[in-house]
Amino acid sequence: MSKRGKANMDVSLDTVYNPFHGPTNLPGPPNESEEQRTRREQESQDAQSISREIDEHLLETKKILERRRRAIKMLLLGQAESGKSTLLKNFQLVFTPIQFQKERGVWKRIVQLNLINSIKIILDALQSEWSPDNEASTSLRKEHRLLHLRLSPLLVYETSFNDILSINPEARDICVRAGSGWKSTLSGKLPRSSDDGLGGSDLLIKSDPTQVLEASADDILSLWADPAVQDVLRSREIRLQDSSGFSFLDDVSRVTMKDYVPTESDIVRARIRTIGVEEHNFVAESGPSLGTEKGSEFFIADVGGSRSSRSSWIPYFDDVDAILFLAPLAFNLSLEEDPRVNRLEDSLQLWRMICENKLLANCALILFLNKKDILVKTLASGVSVKRHVTSYNDPNDAPHVTKYFKDRFKSYHRKLSLRPRPFISYETSAIDTRGTQSVVLAVHDSIIRRNFARSHLI
């Protein structure tokens, strides 16, 4: 093409009217009025502005997709109360410690709520003992009624917390919906309206139990240490000390102090139930292990563990690097939603489903035999595994019991996986912060190594 022809083409391309990218001062049609010209130029400017916004949005979407492609993607699976949220907190503690520290104030409220929940369970048990329908004799006396009376005002704060956060006020522990921004709500960053017209911050002030807890500390200690109260709890098979989030009764003197600040262990132990699938995206603040640099990203999906929510898991199986499967060693417990189903047998059924799923054929499966500390306590109390698992014939101690269930998971992994993959398992107590952090680093390194190997980099 001649230089003149090219020049003509350049001119024609530059002067062609384009409502999205063209100049706004081009000549208008003949006989165009001033009003029409102004409207035409404004429409052209609006079109260009919309076009720029679309381009910026597409560019940002492309960046997000690229970051997600390069990020480590994990899925937390397991039945309700298996320890998924606790493991997630340990990941955050290892890789985003600065952000973790900033949330201490939020977790103080949850610790306080857990303690109040424990008190409520005890008071409800005592109330049932005094019920006219209770024919059994009771060792409770007048002083227990007085304790009940003095501690009852604490329950008002539980109601207030539920009004602010919970989607199910009748649940034993507080339930929040995934993606509801409950942390921001508790920190006062997201005000919420109420029927009485108060904003979220006012509600939070009215719901602060710190002073009442401090004033009630001696009564709480007396209630928890009372032999008659312990007898009532045992007779009703209520074991608060074995329940996640309810262990703060052993730390009453510390957590009821006015200037109490939660420790890392407190935050890990604090219990709040999330309903639905919650996606967490966080950026590593440091690089403590192989392949992790400051700025490395993680996408972790924490899916609901209840039976009714398991159908929502499937969309998250695509393009995941690893599934972290938590199976609590609760051989003597049943599912809260279906008392006929043994919790460990339910975990085994879930594991089988995961192993044989075609979408997960190339995915690393990492098993956490969790809550081993509770297993040790259960066996020490004399509970027989054989009574709950008829196929078990080994000694009734933690090493043999753990090996038995580990072998069962390993057998399904070997038989049902569509292609060979290594069996990776850890025995954990998720509230053992230091031990679990070591496991978190090991898990992260194994995923990085596996990704490198699949990319033929090592």
Query: Highest mean pLDDT range out of 38-47, 174-183, 278-287?
Result: 38-47
Is 372 assigned to a binding site? yes
CB 302 within 8 A of CB 277: yes
- Asked whether the predicted pLDDT for residue 217 surpasses 70, the reply is yes
Between the two ends of the chain, the Cα-to-Cα distance in Å is: 52
pLDDT at 2: 46
Give the pLDDT band (50/70/90) at residue 193: very low
pLDDT at 187: 72
Looking at domain 70-96+284-449, what is its CATH homologous superfamily? P-loop containing nucleotide triphosphate hydrolases (3.40.50.300)
Which is more confidently placed, 51 or 162? 51
Is 371 assigned to a binding site? yes
Which is more confidently placed, 343 or 291? 343
Is 3 assigned to a binding site? no
CA 192 to chain centre: 22
Give the pLDDT band (50/70/90) at residue 221: very high
pLDDT at 150: 94
Is 85 assigned to a binding site? yes
Rg (CA), the chain: 29
| 322-328 sheet: strands from edge to edge | 278-283, 297-302, 72-77, 322-328, 364-370, 424-427
Cα 199 to Cα 65, 175, 194, 202, 408, distances in angstroms: 37, 21, 7, 5, 53
Structure tokens at 294: 């400051």
pLDDT at 380: 94
CB 269 within 8 A of CB 401: no
Is 430 assigned to a binding site? yes
Which residue bears the tokens 């899916």?
303
Question: What's the CA gap between 322 and 448, in Å, rounded?
Answer: 10
Tell me where in the chain the CATH 1.10.400.10 domain(s) lie: 104-268
Is 436 assigned to a binding site? no
CATH number of 104-268: 1.10.400.10
pTM for the full model? 0.75
CA 217 to chain centre: 30
Per-residue model confidence as pLDDT tens digits over 130-163 = 876 665 656 778 889 999 999 999 988 888 777 7
Is 274 assigned to a binding site? yes
φ/ψ of 342, rounded to 5, equals: -70, 135
Query: If you count them, how many residues does the chain have?
Result: 458
Per-residue model confidence as pLDDT tens digits over 358-399 = 888 888 999 999 999 889 989 999 999 999 999 999 999 999
Query: Highest mean pLDDT range out of 96-105, 271-280, 295-304?
Result: 96-105
Q: What mean pLDDT is reported for the chain?
A: 80
pLDDT at 9: 43
Which is more confidently placed, 95 or 257? 257
Closest C-alpha among 328, 405, 313 to residue 360: 313
Range in 48-57, 77-86, 179-188 with the lowest mean pLDDT: 179-188
Is 386 assigned to a binding site? no
- Asked whether the predicted pLDDT for residue 49 surpasses 80, the reply is yes
pLDDT at 167: 55
Tell me where in the chain the CATH 3.40.50.300 domain(s) lie: 70-96+284-449
Is 86 assigned to a binding site? yes
- 77-107 as b/e: b if 16+ CB within 10 A: bbbbbbbbbbbbbbbbbbbbeeebeebeebb
Give the pLDDT band (50/70/90) at residue 455: low
Question: What's the CA gap between 357 and 450, in Å, rounded?
Answer: 20
Contacts with 180 (C-beta within 8 Å, 6 or more apart), sequence order: 165, 167
Is 451 assigned to a binding site? no
Structure tokens at 270: 């604090």
Is 358 assigned to a binding site? no
Which residue bears the tokens 């049902």?
416
pLDDT at 382: 93
- Asked whether the predicted pLDDT for residue 231 surpasses 80, the reply is yes
Mean pLDDT of 152-179: 73
Is 84 assigned to a binding site? yes
